[in-house]
Structure 1
Amino acid sequence: MQRSNFLATVPIFQRLTRATPPQWKNKARETDVFLPTLTKIFKFSKWFGIPTYGNKIYFIWATIILLLLFTIVVASIVKVIRSLAGLAQHDSDGRGVTARLSGAIFYTNGLLSQILSWRLIASWKRLSHHWLRVEITSLHLPQDQKIRRRVVIVTCFVAVCAMSEHMLSMMSATGFTIHPEEYFDRYMLSSHGFLFHTENYSLWKVIPTFIMSKLATVFWNFQDLIIILISMGLTSRYNRLNFYVKHIVAKSRRNRSKTDSDMFLHIQIWRKLREAYVKQSSLVRTFDRHLGPLVLLSNINNLYFICLQLFLGLNRGERGVVNRMYYFLSLSWLLFRACSVVLAAADVNLHSKRALMYLSQCPDTGYNLEVKRLKHQLTHDKVVLSGMGLFSLDRQNLLGVAGNIVKYEMVLFQYDKDN
């Protein structure tokens, strides 16, 4: 191509790489809405023990929570060891080791969740700058204006459901036949029988444990919420890229006759697209390294408590309407939250391949070397969130885990029946 023809195409190329569908005009440089929304949620976490966006007072408060959780974890593990060694004098609600082990795992998850969430949010400023740099140096795509509303709705939904489930658990642990002044003692002896019994019950131990139990529940739900929201943001960006590909392919199908300058512009547009997908996959891998420990902790913890709830439900007939309601609501909420974590993260992998469907519709006149490279790149580049590389979060793995849970419960149920 002659130099004069190339210079003539530069302004056209700049317009084509910024603008795409008509509704996208004048939106290319809109302010990002996902990152500030998530930052506001992370700032709120200083109230329950993650002080990244707080002052020294919040740091001291978080340190106290960390030390108290660590103390409860150590005490719980000692109780488990004593129970396994046959030295325990009290049986917690007739479950013995199961109750003590569940309590130890619950508080261990709360401790690790606080540490890992603190670590992730401490690096959020650097991660958000990296995300914004990808947005600026890549194609100028308009923002997903609905992402803010989706993030707020999901956050509020998780908070309301978690509070409702926990309030029902408190009612289930005490019942309605006790006097109000006896409620607190009954609740702690029932829910924390693996730590306290009548002989060693004292308020100076019980009150901090009561507060830590609520915060451990918050950490458990918050770690799942973090994974879901970040996965939603990564999926949203893939959706924008995929829509860009869809528009370019549709435009190529409508305008099949191209001059040499048009062909050159077409190649440059596809090259920009391919580079944008490279940057996006690199962004996902960066977040995968930081999210990996939290993903691993979340899935292991959810899997354990799902199996525990199913096993206890199959082997213990809960009495009373409140107990039955709590069991089904708690199990449903646990299953829903665990599946939401996996499906939200799996959507990143699913949408990273979705542009292949549009590329297969590209006409021969619009097909070029850059389209071939992009097709090869999307086909063979596995973009997925994982649990520190031990497992990938995709929909096939979710079905495999569900099948293993069913087989595990059937084996336990048959074993318990035979004995």
Structure 2
Amino acid sequence: MLSVIEVFAIWKLIRVLTGSTLISNGNKSLIGRVSGSIFYGNAVLSLILCWRAVNTWKKLSINWLRVETKGLLLSPDFSIKRKITFVVSFITLCAIIEHTLSMIAATGLDCPPEKYFEQYILSSHGFLLHTWEYTLWIAIPIFILSKSATILWNFQDLIIILISMGLASRYHRLNSFVKHVVRYEKRDGNMEKFKTEIYYQLNVWRNIREAYANQSALVRQVDEELGALLLLSNLNNMYFICLQLYLGLRKVDGVLINRVYYFYSLGWLMVRAVSVVLAAADVNLHSKRALPYLYSCPSSSYNIEIRRLKNQLTHDHIALSAMGFFYLDRQKLLQVAAAIVKYELILIQYDK
């Protein structure tokens, strides 16, 4: 059903571009139809990619469990459940508030209750329906599917954030274990060691190195499964942030509820987009945090496994990517912000 709406939205957009339909506000109608096509196009692709992620989750979770339980055993992260509960609750609450404000702004506070549903559909889906095309049997499926598309838009970002938190948590525990071992090496660095102690020390560092190698393989597997979803999420968020800024530069309706909705919607879009990038970037950030501990390891305890681990962490680039087009790290966030600022400066200069 989402695909049917998307095809119909593209058909309406083509009619505007070819001039085969008569509209009053051409620029405004064109922007609305492009945005509507992108919104439902994102919903269709998101549904397909989330369905694919669900189908591959069993294989991925088995591998994830194997990484957690075999080889180096680390203490569990007791705070991860609380963090995940907070993130899910926060995103759900903010998304509900944002969508509620959008429904109120679409009709205004003075809309009669008996006319609310019709006015809401015609206002929010003007790119699909004209006033003379409205019927209740068309409006009800559109209303349901618009809520489904909104849920999918938030859900795709939530998947990326939660899985990134899980990967970063594992790296954090590995880094803490390395810090503890290096502290032990510093304390007993000047003590004479027997061959059994040297062998035990070497074995510990080998297990640590293998744990990092297994973790990097897990990150690459997750990246392979979620790369398309990461690309879709970042492109979609960037488009709608630019759209909101563009509409804000042109004119925001003087009605208070419209101004409240505009600023809240823009702020929520930015928070969600930044959260996706920062959560994914934390995987790259935590993958390198053990290096300072390794460099501070005393020379008397230095061995071949420490050197191998140091080379592995230095030269192995671990990061989630958008199908290989770009890697998500903290520098990428600044690059995207700079691109948006350039876009807005061009609009201010040329928009009449």
Amino acid at match of 2:347: L
- Find 1:207's aligned residue among 137, 140, 147: 140
2:116 aligns with 183
Return the offset for 1:327. Answer: 0.4
1:258 equivalent to 2:195? Answer no
1:150 aligns to 2:75 (yes or no): no
1:320 paired residue number: 255
SS at match of 2:28: coil
**Structure 1 counterpart of 2:35:** 102
Note if 1:238 corresponds to 2:171: yes
Q: Deviations over 1:299-345 (max 9, x none)?
A: 01001000000000001132111111000000000000000000000
Distance 1:214 1:299, change over 3 A: same
How far off its partner does 1:267 sit?
1.1
> Is the contact between residue 76 and residue 103 of structure 1 (CA under 8 Å) also seen in structure 2?
yes
Q: What residue is the counterpart of 1:116 in the other structure?
A: 49
Q: What secondary structure, in the 3-state scheme, does the structure 2 residue paired with 1:313 have?
A: helix
Distance 1:105 1:70 in 2: 12
> CA offsets, 1:338-388, max 9 Å, x none?
000000000000000000011111011111111111011000000000000
Q: 1:180 to 1:241 in 2, by over 3 A?
A: same
CA distance in 1, matches of 2:251, 2:275: 28
Moved more, 81-90 or 160-169: 81-90
Work out the CA distance in 1 between the residues paired with 2:192 and 2:211: 25
Aligned-partner Cα distance in 1 for 2:27–2:215: 53
Gap runs ≥5 in structure 2: none
Residue by residue, what CA displacement relative to the aligned partner does 1:145-200 show, whole Å, maximum 9, x if unpaired? 11111111111111110000000001111111121111111111111110111111
Aligned to 1:96, the other structure's residue is in SS state helix
Corresponding position of 2:338:
403
Change in CA separation of 1:139 and 1:174 when aligned onto 2, cut-off 3 Å: same
TM-score, scaled to structure 1 = 0.82
Task: Provide closer, same or farther for how the CA distance between residues 196 and 92 of structure 1 changes in structure 2, counting only shifts above 3 A.
Answer: farther
Partner of residue 157, structure 2: 224
Runs of 4+ in 1 over 4 A off after TM superposition: 91-94
> What amino acid is aligned across from residue 271 of structure 2 in structure 1?
F
Give me the whole-angstrom Cα distance separating, in 1, the residues matched to 2:147 and 2:25: 20
Give the conservation status (yes or no) of the 8 Å contact 2:107–2:120: yes
Whole-angstrom CA distance in 2 between matches of 1:354 and 1:232: 16
Structure 1 counterpart of 2:316: 381
Give 1:121 deviation, angstroms. Answer: 1.0
Could you tell me how far apart the structure 2 residues matched to 1:118 and 1:320 are?
Answer: 41
State the distance in 1 between where 2:58 and 2:143 align.
Answer: 33
The reply to whether residue 174 of structure 1 matches residue 107 of structure 2 is yes
Give the distance between the partners of 2:347 and 2:39, measured in 1 at CA. 22
Relative to the length of structure 2, the TM-score reads 0.98
Superposed, 1:125-136 pairs within 5 Å as: 125-136=58-69
The amino acid of 1:258's aligned partner reads E
Alpha carbons of structure 1 residues 91 and 121: separation in structure 2 relative to 1, 3 Å: farther
Residue type of the partner of 1:370?
Answer: E
How far residue 410 of structure 1 moved from its aligned partner, in angstroms, is 1.0
Q: CA deviation at 1:85?
A: 0.6
Residues 265-310 of structure 1: per-residue CA shift (max 9 Å, x gap): 1111111100100000000000000000100000010010000000
Contact 2:95/2:154 (8 A) holds in 1 = yes
Whole-angstrom CA distance in 2 between matches of 1:346 and 1:190: 38
Q: Does 1:333 align with 2:268?
A: yes
Asked if structure 2 preserves the Cα contact closer than 8 Å seen for 1:93 and 1:193, the reply is no
Q: CA separation in 2, counterparts of 1:177 and 1:231?
A: 44
Compute the displacement of 1:261 (Å). 2.4
Deviation of the 1:94 alpha carbon: 6.1
Q: In structure 1, what is the equivalent of residue 328 of structure 2?
A: 393
Tell which deviates more after alignment, 205-214 or 131-140.
131-140
Q: Is the 8 A contact 2:252 2:258 kept in 1?
A: no
Partner Cα separation in structure 2 for residue 332 and residue 319 of structure 1: 19
| Mapped partners of 2:26, 2:170: distance in 1 | 50
State the match for 1:193 in structure 2.
126
What is the root-mean-square deviation in Å for CA atoms of aligned residues? 1.1
Check the 8 A contact 1:342/1:394 in 2, yes or no: yes
Amino acid at match of 1:261: T
1:408 positional shift:
0.8
Measured in 1, the distance between the counterparts of 2:58 and 2:69 equals: 16
**1:358 equivalenced with 2:300 (yes/no):** no
